Amino acid sequence: VLFPRMPAGLSWPEAAAPALLALALLVTLCRHLWALRWSLSRDRASALPLPRGSMGWPFFGETLHWLLQGSRFHSSRRERYGNVFKTHLLGRPVVRVTGAENIRKILLGEHTLVSTQWPQSTQIILGSHTLLGSIGDLHRQRRKVMFSRAALESYLPRIQKVVSWELRGWCMEPGSIAVYSSAKTLTFRIAARILLGLRLEEKQFKDLAKTFEQLVENLFSLPLNIPFSGLRKGIKARDMLHEFMEKAIQEKLQRNNPEDHSDALDFIINSAKEHGKEFTMQELKESAIELIFAAFFTTASASTSLILLLLKHPSVIEKIRQELTSHELYHCRCPSDISLEKLSRLRYLDCVIKEVLRVLPPVSGGYRTALQTFELDGYQIPKGWSVMYSIRDTHETAAIYQSAPSGFDPDRFGAARMEATGRFHYIPFGGGARSCIGKELAQAILKLLAIELVSTARWELATPGYPAMQTVPIVHPVDDGLQLYFHPLQPGHGSEA
């Protein structure tokens, strides 16, 4: 009853062979029909062919390959198909683009050739009232308010205090520090305290950070809102954060102390009032989440990369110390002594930060949607397709870098060489009207962290070797494998301490 009777003389493998063959043929047919479906979507008004590449499997495309292979996914296909190739990721057809000239056309074609288009999962989780989704005057106004020079200047002393406090904790830890986790704690504390003005007990802070991490980890997922899916997990985290933020924002709005109005969320609220607009609670909640997003994961990634690359290149640490000493900022203990103008004088430190972001840019690229069919490298980019421009691949393949592109060489950005003079050869924050909203803040945090690190600590590996780096969704050590010992420096001592 339970099992069909086998024909006489046939074993199970022999009996199953026809069924397996039929299944294999069906799978092959489905994949061919899937590829044909996208081949037929080309714009027939254009004589140009679609880019080369593979669309993977029905619906899933090549998403699984992308998540598992990381940066190797893109580099292997670039080597096979060239600087412009097609694929299918996160439920959409995508053209992946590398190279300064190609990226120039995309980034300068905002609102004409392309428009900003994050994956559907990202849009659902972050919401529709963020800078990521805003356009035109509203987009420009909110960028200007949230990260204006005056706003950044007001953040600096408080950022330095948070950085100094966290680093002291690292140095007091008797065992090793998991750097990526610790960097996430640092940047989340900066975002919560300084950008949102949240007053949190330590347990609240840790719970909120854990929930936000769950949100970010599921931003780039298949658009399947089903139990146990990445999108469902991201939505659950979002709802929990919105519930917390609504209470915090209501408390903020009820406080009338002008001295409290000095964080980024206050700047947004007050600027709106000056323009005769009142934000809804939904808009404020989504803006609050976006502010943390702008300063949290990517800055934690870059902070980890900074610490790793300085550890590998002690001579760079010594040159930073010499520059700080010449500007009387070595062992600086007064936060009011730090200003944007003083940071701008630290030319070598600026080169170091630029090189960290060139070698290990936190994100691999940016998303757009084609508003009309246009040409890149002799191929058509059909209207409606996603376009993902590559940051990491462009940095790695740019011919303008004289020394080995994969090598860490801050002097390539010095006045004597200025290798990255091309506008789109160096794009760690994207470019054009849609460059990263928090880039000035991120650079300031990285500079303050570098100053505090080289002035007060030395660090060493707690493992036999350096960890591998994972690149999806952002650059970070595999399994948080960058374990380091941090030791306090005595005043007056340098690298020999």
Which residue positions form the known binding site for heme?
436
φ/ψ bin of 221: left (φ > 0), alpha (ψ from -120 to 50), beta (otherwise): beta
| CA distances, 208 to each of 34, 155, 189, 289, 304 (Å) | 42, 22, 10, 11, 21
Helices (H) and strands (E) in the chain, counts: 18, 12
Q: For residue 92, give the H/E element and its range.
A: strand 92-97
Q: How far apart, in whole angstroms, are the C-alpha atoms of residue 26 and residue 34? A: 12
Pairing, β 92-97 against β 84-89: antiparallel
Could you give phi then psi for residue 481, rounded to 5 degrees?
-80, 0
Fill in the DSSP letter of residue 48: S
| Residues placed in the known binding site | 436
Contact 49, 42 (CB under 8 A): yes
- Token pair 């915090």: residue: 248
3-state secondary structure of 484: strand
Q: What is the edge-to-edge ordering of all strands in the sheet holding 365-370?
A: 84-89, 92-97, 386-390, 365-370, 114-116
Helix axes of 179-190 and 202-217: crossing angle, nearest 10 degrees:
110
Q: At a CB cut-off of 8 Å and minimum separation 6, what does 347 contact?
A: 323, 414, 415
CA distances from 290 to 116, 143, 211, 216, 284 (A): 16, 12, 14, 11, 10
Instruction: Find the radius of gyration of the CA atoms of the chain.
Output: 25
Closest of 450, 254, 426, 265 to residue 350, by C-alpha: 450
Alpha helices in 108-219 (DSSP H): 120-126, 136-146, 149-172, 179-190, 202-217
Integer Cα distance of 472 and 342 in angstroms: 35
Q: Which two tokens stand for residue 365?
A: 């690229």
Instruction: Please give the Cα distance from 386 to 26 (Å, whole number).
Output: 29
Strands 114-116 and 177-178 come out as unpaired
H/E stretch holding 490 reads none
Does residue 135 contact residue 111 with C-beta atoms inside 8 Å? Answer: yes
Count other Cβ atoms within 10 Å, centred on residue 268: 20
What is the spatial distance between Cα 118 and Cα 120, in angstroms, rounded to a whole number?
6
488 strand-pairing partners: 457
